[in-house]
Amino acid sequence: MSELHDLTVAQLATKLRAKEVSAVELARHFLARGVRHEALGAYLATNEEVTLAQARDADARLARGDTAPLLGIPIAHKDIFVTRDFPSTAGSRMLEGYQSPFDSTVVAKLKGAGAVSLGKLNCDEFAMGSSTENSAFKPARNPWDATRIPGGSSGGSAAAVAARLIPAATGTDTGGSIRQPASFCGITGIKPTYGRASRYGMIAFASSLDQAGPMARTAEDCALLLSCMCGSDPDRDSTSLDVPAEDFTRSLNTPLKGLRIGVPKEWGELRAFDVERVHSSPKAQNAPEASVAKAIDEALSQYEKLGATLVEVSLPRTELSIPVYYIIAPAEASSNLSRFDGVKFGHRAAKYADLTDMYRKTRAEGFGDEVKRRIMIGTYVLSHGYYDAYYLQAQKIRRMIADDFQQAFKECDVIAGPVAPTVAWKLGEKSSDPIANYLADVYTLPASLAGLPCMSLPVGFGGEYMPVGLQLIANHLQEARLLNAAHQFQQATDWHQRAPEGF
């Protein structure tokens, strides 16, 4: 018999309803695993008392016959969601010890669905990064090889799910932060259409891009969670879409016969955006590494066996998504992060001469290097004289990138390709080279800029036995189609069932 931590959310929900296990037993089991594997650096905050109180409440609801879909299911949240029950830091010293007076909408919705929260998960500071090394507190590690990064920024979430410290977690994705760590840790994660899930209470990085989504081992579990996370929130997030909540599990079992999968012809042969002009490091190659390309090709063949047909599509401006994103995201970040001034909440410098000095010292002490770098880039591209040259140009190209997808979707139902050019790299390998980190985002940025739903599912191993994820992208509001395609793949393969050794 499988151990409790090997079971999926769907399986655990069945066991809870059959009273074969209680919410309190589950909470204790997963809390203990969190403690045993603390060295992974997955958690930033836990609180046994709070968790067990929520679990007891879930058990009482179960006893009353309450049928909330996630009743008693243990989950944990990326520390970018504010929570009433745990501190919320966004991985930053600026918010160390900060206690929110309210729950973010996504957290409240999951709580309402009966999920029991085990705590807050590590992430890059304000979700800026691709490795979780930008966390002000500690890096998170990849359970497949603890000398490697788990990806980022939702690296704590991915590491925790892959190591079976928790059956599912929340993440956020601005430019790849759900898909890339999911790929690097061999789990499944989906970023829904921009506006599907409320951003209320998600500590803002780049507001026109930030989206919440679930990370779990299977597409079915992602569908279960996502169905509870979405829904319009007109009073609190004016960009949330006015579409009814949807049951994303409803079409999981639809056969794939006739599905047209678009394969972007530029994605196999990408060369880096011309970094040489902006950076002195050797010219990077963004084409997928051979072992990654092989895993992707094999996954596409598997899809053909399942009845899908492959069609070539073109996303000609893919490489431009790097400069476009790294102008727009920092521009929005520089504005969003102006609220951290030592006055309203969070850190304040202990000693200062006057108000300006207080701002300066507070922000110098509170923010890490990458956050400062982005605030400076963002302030620069928005400044008088440069706004037209950078920010406005980037917005125009963003629109063209979105139009390219619409062209492609005339030929296909979903687009498939790599999530990242490589497998997870070693801790420290790219930490002194921000541009190398940015370039590795080339495959995740286009869908983000276009606001499209997109996901990663495990499809094999590359490098030295590290997981490889396949990225699937669909047109707006077609999450159900993505989850269906992923679920069908997982019915025919067992990559999603592999566990890292020792977990």
Contact 174, 209 (CB under 8 A): yes
Q: Can 153 be counted among the known catalytic residues?
A: yes
Q: Cα 105 vs. chain centroid, distance in angstroms?
A: 17
Tell the smallest beta-carbon distance from residue 43 to ligand GLN (Å).
19
Q: Which is nearer to ligand GLN, 80 or 259 (CB)?
A: 80
Tell the smallest beta-carbon distance from residue 130 to ligand GLN (Å).
4
Q: Which of 119, 30, 16, 28 is nearest to 68 (CA)?
A: 16
Q: Give 119-162 as a 3 state SS string.
A: EEECCCHHHCCCCCCCCCCCCCCECCECCECCCCCCHHHHHHHH
Tell the smallest beta-carbon distance from residue 503 to ligand GLN (Å).
25
Strands (E), 8-72: 43-45
Q: Which is nearer to ligand GLN, 175 or 378 (CB)?
A: 175
For 117, the 3-state DSSP assignment is: strand
Residue 339 per-residue DSSP state: G
Structure tokens at 277: 């002009």
Q: Does 153 sit behind a cis peptide bond, omega within 30 degrees of 0 on the bond before it? A: yes
Residue 170 per-residue DSSP state: E
Structure tokens at 212: 């919440």
* Residue 61: burial class (beta carbons within 10 Å; 0-12, 13-18, 19+): middle
Q: Which listed residue (22, 135, 154, 177) is catalytic?
A: 177
Q: Which listed residue (22, 78, 88, 183) is catalytic?
A: 78
Q: Can 448 be counted among the known catalytic residues?
A: no
Position closest to ligand GLN via CB: 177
Tell the smallest beta-carbon distance from residue 498 to ligand GLN (Å).
25
Tell the smallest beta-carbon distance from residue 445 to ligand GLN (Å).
8
Kindly give, in sequence order, each residue whose CB lies less than 8 Å from that of residue 104, ignoring residues fewer than 6 positions away.
81, 82, 83, 198, 200, 201, 202
Q: Which is nearer to ligand GLN, 12 or 169 (CB)?
A: 169
Residue 93 per-residue DSSP state: G
Q: Which is nearer to ligand GLN, 62 or 454 (CB)?
A: 454
Q: Which is nearer to ligand GLN, 75 or 419 (CB)?
A: 419
Q: Can 410 be counted among the known catalytic residues?
A: no
Region label for 303, one of left (φ > 0), alpha (ψ between -120 and 50) or beta (otherwise): alpha
Tell the smallest beta-carbon distance from residue 449 to ligand GLN (Å).
12
Tell the smallest beta-carbon distance from residue 429 to ligand GLN (Å).
15
Please give the full DSSP string across 10-22, using - where no structure is assigned: HHHHHHHHTTSS-
The helix or strand, by DSSP H or E, that contains position 118, with its residue range, turns out to be: strand 116-121
Q: Which listed residue (104, 153, 334, 456) is catalytic?
A: 153
Q: Kindly list the residues in this chain that would bind ligand GLN in the complex (CB under 6 A).
A: 127-130, 153, 173-177, 205, 329, 441
Report d(CA 230, CA 97) in Å as an integer.
29
Q: Which is nearer to ligand GLN, 114 or 139 (CB)?
A: 139
Contact 241, 479 (CB under 8 A): no
Q: Which is nearer to ligand GLN, 127 or 275 (CB)?
A: 127
104: amino acid identity, one letter:
S
Active site residue ranges: 78, 153, 177
